[in-house]
Structure 1
Amino acid sequence: MQTKELNNIHRMYYVAVVCPPEIDEKVLQYKHWMRQRFGCKAALKSPAHLTLIAPFWLEEELEQTLKETTKQFQTELLPFEIRLNNFDHFSNRVLFVHTEANESLARLQFETTEHFQQQFPAAVKTDNRPFHPHVTIANRDMSPSAFLKAWEHFSKEDYAASFIADQISLLKLQEGKWHVIEEKKF
């Protein structure tokens, strides 16, 4: 009985374009600023990234198949530039670095979702919301009053960076942090 229970352990995963270290370091400074002033810690669990497939639960015994699915991803897209420009927010619950509209990124998100849904239709769901790529600074644990103070600061702050997207990354939640466990260049 205990063996069967172990085989049904589910873990959380997501697929993203992970930002390069220099952008991750800068975004991490913003995340620490939010933690120091408002106690926001949830966004510190992930590296700076653009989510392609939102977090989903999957039986851990299928992890190797999930990694293989990542390795098998193919696209005709060539590496492309992603531009980050200043800050934005979703209502008063999510504060983020704004990502400029990008047709290649939208296509990558569509193709990635389609690819993973073929292999894991029960786990990877279609998100009915419009694709709105962003690099999160603070989210679930930000109070509305903290948002108002933080937005007053970030709305006046300038930030611009760009990088070349040339791979997707599979991340897994382990011991309270998200870690890249597989990557696939395109």
Structure 2
Amino acid sequence: MAMHYFLALSLPNQIKKILNEWKQQQQLSFQSWVHWEDYHITLAFLGSAPPSSLHTIQQELEKAVYKWKPFSLQLQGLRTFGTSERPRVLWVDVKHSKELFTLQREVHTICEEAGVSLETRPYRPHITVARRWKGQGQLYDLQANEIEELYTASFSAEQLVLFETHPTETPKYKENFKISLHSHSS
């Protein structure tokens, strides 16, 4: 089976802890819940990109990172992908951030210039927490399952990571390389 890769922002442990503690209290019926160490915000899914492309992407990201600095992000509640009868994915929304969208576009461009074809759907930053609804009936009121931190927790985006997927392992995402966003001193 081919290895799959994606570029993402890693989350600080305090955010992973909030999400994991929330998950432990849930009675929602999803087939699979994401392991707390696997929480992230995807920037670009690379699929089974060849090693030569990954090497080029790493080199170009390391060159580009000097113009990126850490920026603040805030959680913004629960959402789903799919229908209310059969939601495919339960996720935590991230408040709109100009810096995040700019970074994602630049990462996307670097990947395409390295020869990797990427998704063309509009970018929707999110943190996946569960997959495949298995409950009876519809998933109605997500707000009933939320805690205040899912709307108020903020954090600094500081690390860009290339993850490789290991579907049979837990956690299933392993760091291939990481690049820290730089704080600029004047």
TM superposition score category, shorter chain reference: 0.7 to 0.9
Change in Cα spacing, 1:52 to 1:67, as seen in structure 2 (3 Å) is same
Pair 1:131-2:123 in alignment = yes
Spell out the pairing of 1:1-186 with structure 2 (5 A cutoff): 10-33=2-25, 38=29, 40-41=31-32, 43-44=34-35, 47-59=38-50, 67-74=58-65, 76-91=67-82, 92-119=87-114, 121=115, 123-125=116-118, 127-139=119-131, 141-143=132-134, 145=136, 148=139, 151=142, 153-154=144-145, 156-159=146-149, 160-174=152-166, 175-176=168-169, 177-186=172-181
Identical columns (%): 21
Please tell me the residue identity of whatever aligns with 2:43: L
Please tell me the residue identity of whatever aligns with 2:147: E
SS at match of 1:109: helix
Please tell me the residue identity of whatever aligns with 1:17: L
- Per-residue CA deviation, residues 52-93 of structure 1 (Å, 9 max, x unaligned), is 002511246765555445544435232210011222222322
Q: Matched residues in 2 for 1:57 and 1:42: separation?
A: 24
Q: Matched residues in 2 for 1:106 and 1:115: separation?
A: 14
Q: Matched residues in 1 for 2:66 and 2:109: separation?
A: 11
Contact 2:19 2:36 in 1 (8 A): no
Q: How many residues align?
A: 172
How far does residue 178 in structure 1 lie from its aligned partner after superposition? 0.6
Change in Cα spacing, 1:164 to 1:57, as seen in structure 2 (3 Å) is same
SS at match of 1:88: strand
Contact 1:13 1:170 in 2 (8 A): yes
How far does residue 26 in structure 1 lie from its aligned partner after superposition? 2.0
Please tell me the residue identity of whatever aligns with 1:108: L
Q: Matched residues in 1 for 2:43 and 2:70: separation?
A: 16
Q: Matched residues in 1 for 2:39 and 2:17: separation?
A: 8
Gaps of 5+ in 2: 182-186
Gaps of 5+ in 1: 1-8
- Per-residue CA deviation, residues 103-157 of structure 1 (Å, 9 max, x unaligned), is 11001100011112212x2x341x2222111111112x32364861783642x53
Contact 2:165 2:174 in 1 (8 A): yes
Normalized per residue, the structure richer in helix is 1
Task: Report runs of 4+ in structure 1 exceeding 6 Å deviation.
Answer: none
How far does residue 181 in structure 1 lie from its aligned partner after superposition? 2.1
Please tell me the residue identity of whatever aligns with 2:153: A
How far does residue 170 in structure 1 lie from its aligned partner after superposition? 0.7
TM-score between both structures, scaled by the size of structure 2: 0.75
Please tell me the residue identity of whatever aligns with 1:134: H
